[in-house]
Amino acid sequence: MSSCNKNPKSETRNPKPGEWVAILDFGSQYTQLIARRVRECKVYCEIFSHKTSPEEFLRNKPKAIILSGSPATVASPQSPVCSREIFELGIPILGICYGMQLMCKVLGGEVKSALSREYGMASLTVDKKGNLFSGIERKLVVWMSHGDKPKKLPDGFQAIAHTRNCPLAAMKNEQKKIYGLQFHPEVVHTPQGGKIIGNFLRKIAGCSGNWTMKAFVEDSVRTIRQTVGSGRVLLALSGGVDSSVLAILLHKAIGNKLVCVFVDNGLLRKNESEEVVKKFKERYHINLIHVNARDKFLKKLEGISNPEEKRKIIGREFIRVFEKQARGIGRIKFLAQGTLYPDVIESMSPFGGPSATIKTHHNVGGLPRKMQFELVEPFRFLFKDEVRQAGNELGLPDAIIWRQPFPGPGLAVRIIGDVTEERLAILREADARVEEEIRKAKLYKKIWQAFAILLPVRTVGVMGDERTYENVAAIRAVTSKDGMTADWAKLPHALLGRISNRIINEVKGINRVVYDISTKPPSTIEWE
């Protein structure tokens, strides 16, 4: 995340659309999933800390408030709580797991520790359908994850569903439009969970579900024009999905008042530099400055094998190059960044939850405070798939919209050990074969990322009648929704065979290929 954000205006949240939903985060690993489910119902939402004051919601009234789960227990004095006044705002509320237990306790009911923790699949019986369970089967599979459960409901509430181990698995106060679920409707393990959330949003909260990417793009164009005025905007264009869609959105809004800087650091994929320049300068006629800084970056990386040190070196050198270009351009008031919602959640942990910073994100990380730009971050509250939808609305081709994520430090963090021109050349060729075969198999859109890694070991092989002693390449392919979690892709064996065969036979310097079958967590997607 950028550290040049000094202007208080740049720290405020996006203006809310006509209808929106607030999600209070109590530290659940599933909070982001709640947001995704709400967005899938075409309702805009944002995640807030559980410490957010009622006055915040009175100023810009949401159509509903959803209380997330939590790893905490309501019995603990240190457990996270929200203001009791939240329940007196007259706004429909849905409490999920811990959220239900908390509202039960705060509103005068009783919660007890379960004799045995209920975790995993459970069979739920709906006792009273009403609006929340409208169109839902009376018996359904749900996902439980709790150690506490309600013993007595607050006055005015009634039980509406139960499981074998939990007589009070859902509750409602129809008059106040306050509902609670002991299970997690947001996870895929609750097959009808999306419909339950949709019922709450439409039938109880009265949401029309009119938030679309078309509306987002139109609103963003207006907002950017109003914000920028006669000023100019600087954007570091990488050629990835986020910065590419942002460049087109900004160009649509302010035309040549946008200045894009593309830095070729020598750590890009095969033909990437030429493709970026051709697309944006020649096709879209964007004001693009192309900086060839390959030699500078590679010289700084000589002899460096520590992954975090690589990142720091690349980040510092990028700042130097970027600053030099910024000074040469003249007066620039705004800096645009393709920051996404997962970046905000992972890097900054602003919601009072337990999420930790795993590694630095590289949108335009660490720009110095003295630059004093005002930030323009239209995607700050969007997920990756929503950015792709925005790109589609802007008419971008699939080649840009569906481009797989690529790390800011580039191939430097896919070469384990020293980064040299020779090793980069080997990895570029291997990586190109991976992408070509994945595309031929028509799996490119279905896979979150697929790439090669060059390992710092050599193995013995035989090619023709000769003994070889060359590098090992690892293949990493994962499926994911937004990169927060990921599973290794179950690629067909025949496809893996073709990839291995092509790399070994066509890329000089590699004689062995292995496949990474690790999930995130505990592993990360990138190796460094």
SS3 call for 252 = helix
Q: Is 290 a catalytic residue?
A: no
Cβ-count burial 300-313 (b if 16+ within 10 Å, e if not): bbeebeebeebbbb
Rounded Cα–Cα distance for residues 325 and 328 (Å):
5
Taking the CB of residue 290, how many other CB atoms lie within 10 A of it? Answer: 16
Q: What distance in Å separates the CA atoms of residue 343 and residue 2, rounded to the nearest whole number?
A: 11
Quickly list DSSP for 44-66: EEEEEETT--HHHHHHT--SEEE
- Three-class SS of residue 312? helix
Confirm if 79 and 72 have CB atoms less than 8 A apart.
yes
Q: Which two tokens stand for residue 102?
A: 């908390």
Q: Considering 19, 118, 186, 470, which one is annotated as catalytic?
A: 186
Residue 514: Cβ within 10 Å count: 13
**403 and 41 in contact (C-beta within 8 Å)?**
no
Letter for the amino acid at 1? Answer: M
Query: Alpha helix locations (H) across 335-407?
Result: 341-343, 384-393, 398-401
207 counts as catalytic: no
Q: How far is CA 29 from CA 345, 364, 447, 450, 486, in A?
A: 11, 27, 23, 26, 14
- The backbone torsions φ and ψ at residue 67, rounded to the nearest 5 degrees and listed phi first, read -95, 125
Cβ 128 vs Cβ 107: under 8 Å: no
Q: Indicate the DSSP class of residue 308.
A: H
Neighbouring C-alpha atoms within 13 Å toward the C-beta of 245 = 31
How buried is 187 (Cβ within 10 angstroms: 0-12 exposed, 13-18 middle, 19+ buried)? middle
Of 41, 97, 104, 207, catalytic = 97
46 in active site: no
Using an 8 Å Cβ cutoff, are 145 and 97 in contact?
yes
Whether cis (ω within 30° of 0) applies to the bond prior to 167 is no
Q: What gap in Å lies between CA 24 and CA 15, rounded to an integer? A: 18
Starting at the edge strand found earlier in the chain, the sheet holding 334-336 runs 288-292, 258-264, 233-236, 334-336, 374-376
**Angle CA(32)–CA(212)–CA(44) in degrees, nearest 5?**
40
Task: Identify the H or E element spanning 272.
Answer: helix 272-277
Strand 20-25 to 64-67 pairing: parallel
- 450 forms beta bridges with 477
Residues classed as catalytic: 97, 184, 186
